[in-house]
Amino acid sequence: MAYWLMKSEPDVFSIDDLAARPQQTEGWDGVRNYQVRNMFRDQFQPGDLAFFYHSNCTPPGIVGIAKVVSHGYPDATQFDPESDHYDPKSKVEEPRWLQVDVQFVRKFRHSVTLATLKEHADALAGFQVIQKGSRLSVCPVRPEHWAFILKLAEP
């Protein structure tokens, strides 16, 4: 079982939105980055856990946990001309973009802000989110980092 971090802008889709969905489950669609596509395709497994990260907000940080509940599968929005994520170059026979489904697990009483994460740069060496210029919307989390951050969130 692997650990992940998934970013979302709370104005667009927050952890509270996830908790309010039917079955508390939502398709993580609209990702248009090949590295993330490959992670969805090759590495994501049902049962994996992910930190839910709020980006582009004040303050940015990890706000809770979601569970991966599907393998990677074609993202329907790439074929929908009405969608913001429409990709005219993607073919149904050969979908370019994948999504996974995630389910709400819990929200932290206190989120772990980016500033807090940076204060623990030593313990979190190699953690992508505190790397300057890190822009991947989905990234792997090492088990020791996962455990360390959990202790920050729920001491």
Strands (E), the chain: 3-8, 25-28, 49-54, 61-68, 73-74, 98-113, 138-141
- Of 33, 80, 121, 143, the residue at the interface with DNA (CB under 7 A) is 33
Task: Indicate whether 126 belongs to the interface with DNA (CB under 7 A).
Answer: no
| Contacts with DNA, 87-106, as mask; x by CB under 7 A | --------------------
Residue 20 identity (one-letter amino acid): A
- Of 14, 39, 137, 152, the residue at the interface with DNA (CB under 7 A) is 137
Which is it for the CA torsion 67, 79, 85, 33, positive or negative? positive
As a whole number of angstroms, the distance between CA 62 and CA 35 comes to 21
Q: Which stretch binds DNA (CB under 7 A): 16-24, 30-38, 43-51, 75-83?
A: 30-38
Binding to DNA, residues 5-24 (CB under 7 A)? 7, 9
Instruction: Specify the residue, 7 or 145, whose C-beta has the smaller distance to DNA.
Output: 7
C-alpha separations of 113 from 38, 54, 143 in Å:
28, 9, 19
Compute how many other C-beta atoms are within 10 angstroms of the C-beta atom of residue 79: 17
Task: Indicate whether 109 belongs to the interface with DNA (CB under 7 A).
Answer: no
Q: Which stretch binds DNA (CB under 7 A): 31-39, 44-52, 73-81, 97-105?
A: 31-39
Task: Indicate whether 60 belongs to the interface with DNA (CB under 7 A).
Answer: yes
